[in-house]
Amino acid sequence: MPVIDYDYKIEQIKSEIERLDAENVILQFPEGLKTDAIDVSNAIQEAVPDVNIIIDADPCFGACDLADNKVNHHIDLVVHFAHTPLPIKTDCPVLFIEASSSSDIVSPIEDAMDKLDESTNTVGLITTAQHMHKLDQMVEIIESRGYDVKVDSGKGTSTAQVLGCNFTSIKDLDVDEIIYVGSGDFHALGVRLFTKKKVVLADPFTGKSRDIEEFYDRILRIRFARITKAKEAKSFGIIISSKKGQLRFNLAIELKKLIKEHGHDAQILNMDFVSPDRLLPFNLDAYVMTACPRIAIDDSAMYKKPVITPQELEIVLGIRQWDDYLMDEIIIHDQQL
């Protein structure tokens, strides 16, 4: 397996600490990078000996989930790794470090192109924050095979960037197939659902590529089962998140009204961290997730009661047809915090 190295930009962090004259700094890593947290902390401490470094050990789900109000507001600076900024008001300065990966992209992209259909002429290209610095190289690799490569930017995303909850950069591209450069199946799944186009995942961390059709079919079968079970529900819990970038308060109010109009009971439940045990006290038949869309999909098997997305609720209530199934998105620009 390839060696994975990330650029944590210690000098940039040092400069920001000195610019702000920050005394207390909290470092926030996604789960996949937490193994580097101590080394990064030590490197910053060596560069700025007088600063107090705190590592945030709580789960971090993205730029929607910032540590700006932790430690009773004693923090002067949050250093948030592996994500790009969202237009969210914060309680203290936040420095975003993309943690660009040095992993090879040539081999997985070459492998991905071997999986494209012979009739394909136009390829859509998408990736994540860790690989955006190599976008020009990605385009050159694909164009070298004679393909026409198309990229776009979306609401709150950079060119060719997708998030686990935002696929607007690919929605309007007229392409035959799509190559996603990254490691997460969920990103590729969302793109597959939104575009109805074949998606091949080129994984720089394994050096290989994979067609996600089998995964796509399996997830759809699971979602169909959850929706079918939710159709039996007489009461629904609508989950909202107190995380600034996941809060969709107005949507929750609208969904409660919609459920009641269809003759069912509905309650709105506020949580910071959503987990199965926190739902145990509530005698409700099904739950609608307005927090992170990945919870309903990734963690589905953990919940005894069906947990569905707002779009899936529309199918349950007969407002949306199954053939019009969509992945849920959180578009910060459309959100009232």
Same domain, 110 and 87: no
Residues 204 and 105: beta-carbon distance below 8 Å: yes
Average pLDDT of the segment spanning 140-163? 91
How many percent of the chain have pLDDT more than 70?
97
Please give the pLDDT value at position 332: 66
- The whole-number average pLDDT for the span 31-51 is 96
Last residue of a domain, one of 66, 101, 136: 101
- Would the pLDDT of 34 be above 80? yes
Q: Which amino acid is at 277?
A: D
In a domain, 199, yes or no: yes
pLDDT digits (tens, 9 = 90+) for 168-182: 888 888 999 999 999
Average pLDDT over residues 196-215: 95
Asked whether the beta carbons of 141 and 127 are under 8 A apart, the reply is no
- Position 337 pLDDT exceeds 50: no
Mapping DSSP onto H, E and C, the string for the chain reads: CCCCCEECCHHHHHHHHHHHCCCEEEEECCHHHHHHHHHHHHHHHHHCCCCEEEECCCCCCCCCCCCCCCHHHCCCEEEEECCCCCCCCCCCCEEEECCEECCCCHHHHHHHHCCCCCCCCEEEEEECHHHHHHHHHHHHHHHCCCCEEECCCCCCCCCCECECCECHHHHCCCCCEEEEECCCHHHHHHHHHHHCCEEEEEECCCCEEEECHHHHHHHHHHHHHHHHHHCCCCEEEEEEECCHHHCCHHHHHHHHHHHHHCCCEEEEEEECCCCHHHHCCCCCCEEEECCCHHHHHHCHHHCCCCEECHHHHHHHCCCCCHHHCCCCCCCHHHCCC
Note the pLDDT of residue 165. Answer: 80
The mean predicted confidence, pLDDT, of the chain is 92
Same structural domain for residues 265 and 325?
yes
Residue 70 sits in the same domain as residue 128: no
Q: Can you give the pLDDT at residue 61?
A: 86
Q: Are residues 180 and 229 in the same domain?
A: no
How many domains does one find in the chain?
3
Residue 73 located in a structural domain:
yes
Q: What is the pLDDT of residue 119?
A: 97
CATH value at residue 96: 3.40.50.11840
Q: How many CA atoms lie within 13 A of 137 on its CB side?
A: 14
pLDDT at 166: 84
Q: Which pair of tokens denotes residue 202?
A: 């080129």
Which of the listed residues 80, 101, 122 is the one where a domain comes to its end? 101
Residue 326: pLDDT band (50, 70, 90) is confident
Task: Say if residue 226 is in the same domain as residue 187.
Answer: no
Beta pairing, strands 94-97 & 100-101: unpaired
Pair (127, 206) in one structural domain: yes
pLDDT recorded at residue 335: 43
Residues 33-42, mean pLDDT to the nearest whole number: 96
89, amino acid identity: K
Return all residues near 240 (Cβ < 8 A) that are at least 6 apart.
247, 248, 249, 252, 268, 269, 270, 271, 290, 291
Task: Please indicate, yes or no, if residue 21 is contained in any of the structural domains.
Answer: yes
Note the pLDDT of residue 263.
98
Gap between the Cα atoms of 292 and 297, Å rounded: 10
- The closest of 209, 149, 162, 169 to 189, measured between CA atoms, is 162
State the number of CA atoms in the 13 A half-sphere of 41 facing the CB: 18
Is the predicted pLDDT of residue 52 greater than 90, yes or no?
yes
Q: Which of 15-29, 41-55, 153-167, 317-331 is the least confident region?
A: 153-167
236 and 255 inside one domain? yes
- Residue 57 belongs to a domain: yes
Tokens of 273: 């961290």
Does 1 map to a domain?
Answer: no
pLDDT of residue 334 exceeding 80, the answer is no
Residues 6+ apart with CB under 8 A from 281: none
Q: pLDDT (tens digit, 9 = 90+) per residue, 65-113?
A: 898 888 777 999 999 999 999 888 898 999 999 999 999 999 999 999 9
Q: Is residue 171 part of a domain?
A: yes
Q: 101, 126, 145 — which closes off a domain?
A: 101
Residue 110 has which token pair?
């070459």
**Residues 122 and 76 reside in one and the same domain:** no
User: Is 290 a residue whose pLDDT tops 70?
Assistant: yes
Q: Given this model, what pLDDT does residue 96 score?
A: 97
- pLDDT value at position 4? 53
What are the tokens at 324? Answer: 């019009």
CB count, 10 Å around CB of 22?
A: 20
The answer, yes or no, to whether residue 238 has pLDDT greater than 60, is yes
- CATH number for the domain harbouring residue 309: 3.40.50.11860
Owning domain of residue 127: 106-211
Kindly state whether residues 96 and 112 are assigned to the same domain.
no
Asked whether the predicted pLDDT for residue 202 surpasses 80, the reply is: yes
Per-residue model confidence (pLDDT) at position 105:
96
